[in-house]
Homo-oligomer: A and B are copies of this chain.
Amino acid sequence: MVIGSHLDSQPAGGRFDGALGTLSAFEVLESLEDAGIETERPVVVVSWTNEEGCRFAPGCMGSMAFSAGEIPSAWRGKVATDGVDFAEELAKTIASLPEAEMLRLGFPLHAYIEVHIEQGPSLEANDIPIGVVKGIQGTRWLDVAVTGQTAHAGTTGLSYRRDPLHALTCALSGLYEAVMPADPDARFTVGRISAEPGSVNAIPDQVRCTVDMRHPEPSRLDEIERFVTSRIKEEAKRQGCNAEIARSFDMAPCVFSDALQQTIEQAASARKVKSTRMLSGAFHDALFVNRVAPAAMIFVPCRGGLSHNEAEYVERAHAVIGCDVLAQATLAIACESTNGRP
């Protein structure tokens, strides 16, 4: 079985998103060694690469490649936001870890469990230290480019303007006021926006932004995407501009292994710790591993639900409980009779 998480972070992220699950997995290995326990199944710790997708898009490259059984050919020639080449950086990363054994991508796997901070407020608000994750909402990312015509800010009257930022801000303000207020399960976020040529006294000729949309129901995610796309195209047309919208990431909702959820619940119960089944608002490496092997996640509360922020914080007691439940679940799975299965 495999336990772990990721170590990369958001540009302004905190210390727990990813790192908590990776260090918890190492702690479990050390505890097994300290206790002199030899398991029936091998226990492998993983630190998936580029989960956040900030440097190379998409996110979850490590777990995605694992579940695909190979590095997708579409990633060839990919360049990072800082200009470096994907293949070169991957080769450097591998070369920097001569101690790590090279394993085949997609090797047969009995179970995957990942400890992670909730990144939302519900466990803390309900005073429950363990979330047993049922599944993950679907996520879709859009790259939006609205093109108009650059012209002089002082001399160009309204009727001569084809201003893509006028179009985009009208579309986005309408979407902010409609998508999330109408559906508490929907998420709508614009994380990046820029205007070219980017001069204070010139109407931009092109404005770009990203859109992150999420929903646990696939059909609602489709509806939201259609609404977002049509609103942007309508406003672009109204300003004499043109909108190009491309999906850069599309992840269907996932449902985790019920058997593993039960194992985690039993582990929490054995440690006399309250747990609750819940959906994940964020996507995680476990979602991709779940495509090729039973996977599950253990959530622990984080202060104020805050994540992707330097103020992200996990109480020491919650970190310990999360690691303890992982250890109990790992023991239960790794020490059961294997009958020769992986």
Contacts and interface: CB of A to CB of B under 8 A. Distances in A.
Interface stretch (A100-108, A220-228, A254-262, A304-312): A304-312
A83 interface: no
B165 A201 contact: no
A187 interface: yes
A120 B154 CA distance: 9
Interface stretch (A22-30, A68-76, A170-178, A326-334): A170-178
Contact of A202 (B158, B160, B191, B205): B191
Contact of A282 (B11, B154, B189, B194): B154
A181 interface: yes
Interface string A160-186: 100101101110111011001100100
Given A121-B160, A166-B176, A154 B201 contact: no
Nearest to A305: B160
A93 interface: no
Interface stretch (A31-39, A145-153, A314-322): A145-153
Given A198-B11, A307-B151, A158 B184 contact: yes
Contacts of A337: none
Given A176-B170, A191-B199, A212 B153 contact: yes
A253 to B, nearest CB: 12
Contacts of A181: 158
Nearest to A283: B154
Contacts of A53: 200-201
A274 to B, nearest CB: 20
Nearest to A211: B200
Interface string A116-156: 00111100000000000000010101000000011111111
A57 interface: yes
Contacts of A248: 200
A84 interface: no
Contact of A201 (B160, B176, B308): B308
Nearest to A179: B158
B184 A173 contact: no
Nearest to A284: B154
A341 interface: no
Contacts of A11: 197-199
